[in-house]
Amino acid sequence: MNGRQRKRACAGLAWLVAFGVVCTAGAEAVTGLVVLVRPAASDAELTDAWNRLEAELHIHAFEARTQEVELGADPAATLRRLGSDAGAVAAFGFVRGDGTASLEVVLLERGTGNTTSRRLPLARGSDAASLIAVRAVDLLRSSLQEFPEEEVEPEPPPAPPEPPPSAAAPARPAEPVGARAFSIALEGALVWPGSRFGVGFGPALAVFHHPLSWFHWGVWITGPVFGMNLETGNGSATIHQELGLLEARVLLFRAGQLEVDALVGGGLWLLQASGRARQPLQSEDDEVWSGVLEAGVHAEQGLGAGFALGLSVRALGQVPGLGVALAQERAAFQQPALQAALGVALGF
């Protein structure tokens, strides 16, 4: 093993050791059930505000139950019916009329069946969706403090013990990965360029920015990729690879903590081959660069506390095509090559 191969092996071992660290977090207790009516998918402004409201409810440990119904001419009456049928503490729904958008809020008093309705206007601006989500959840939390479940005369409690001086306040539940501004992912990747080369494996690192709830973009890098060899009548070659992509992800489907995205992108592919020729041929090492275009699917399951487990499948087209030659024998990568990656993501 020469010096360059030892360096590649050490780098791959360091990546794989880092990939073995996996963190999980427990879930918080649920505060109450809230009915959340989803707006039309074609209305991007209301859909963004709906996603922000759903995330804010999760932050304060409310269980959000999604309903896809028409609110009709009397949104408050429809929300009262949905909330009462579900046994919820509140029901929310976005409405649009006369060129303005607003959030209809119905609060249900547990035990008496009394309701309170409010309509919050959706202002213009880049932070309008976040502001209306915070206002709505603050209104809900205040109502739960004003309307206790039971009015029962309690027995005199025993004297509470003295709290420790440095008692820490309970931690707020963390936002899901998609609600953070950025995320970083550590993955293990498999690359299959065709049956003649076998399957390569190596670590992958990705950093993504989340400017919108349905759109992410970032950089995805894998390498070094080991494990591929080519055997011919003239000898054999050991193949190493590195791959870098600029990638965009668009939301296809979301259900609870599960999210499925379509992904597209482009980048560069470095192929390195170390030849071991049979006599009288002479062994040589070589490398070549190629452009790459990708398309695929990414699925992500939230684990709580800003962590998620992700799985990606990609088709990789090379421009120009890649391959390895030993004397007069040539073997080309298939078009497209296939790649799969599994790992964990952390939002921050």
pLDDT, tens digit, for every residue of 214-265? Answer: 998 999 999 898 888 888 777 788 888 999 999 999 999 899 889 999 999 9
Residues 110 and 243 in one domain: no
Domain span holding position 247: 176-347
Residues 298 and 221 in one domain: yes
What pLDDT, on a 0 to 100 scale, did the predictor assign at position 199?
Answer: 92
Residues 187 and 127 in one domain: no
Domain-embedded: residue 51: yes
Residues 188 and 331 in one domain: yes
Residue 93 CA to residue 71 CA, distance in Å, equals 8
Residues 93 and 208 in one domain: no
**3-state SS, one letter per residue, for 241-261:** EEEEEEEEEEEEEEECCEEEE
146, 168, 191 - which closes a domain: 146
Residues 123 and 256 in one domain: no
| CATH number for position 125 | 3.40.50.800
Domain-embedded: residue 11: no
Domain-embedded: residue 158: no
pTM as predicted: 0.47
Domain-embedded: residue 237: yes
- Please state the domain count of the chain: 2
Residues 216 and 325 in one domain: yes
| CATH number for position 254 | 2.40.160.20
Residues 185 and 325 in one domain: yes
Q: Quick: pLDDT tens for 159-184.
A: 777 777 665 555 554 456 766 789 99
Per-residue pLDDT of the chain (348 residues), as tens digits, is: 555 555 554 444 444 444 343 333 333 445 789 999 999 888 888 889 899 999 999 998 899 899 888 888 898 999 999 988 888 899 999 988 777 888 999 998 877 778 888 889 888 888 888 889 999 999 888 888 754 444 556 667 777 777 776 655 555 544 567 667 899 999 999 999 988 888 999 999 999 999 998 998 999 999 898 888 888 777 788 888 999 999 999 999 899 889 999 999 999 999 888 877 777 777 678 888 999 999 999 999 988 778 899 999 999 999 998 888 776 778 889 999 999 999 999 888
What pLDDT, on a 0 to 100 scale, did the predictor assign at position 27?
Answer: 39
DSSP E strands in the chain: the ranges are 33-37, 63-67, 90-97, 100-108, 115-121, 182-192, 200-212, 215-232, 235-255, 258-277, 285-304, 307-319, 323-326, 329-332, 337-347
Domain-embedded: residue 246: yes
Residues 132 and 226 in one domain: no
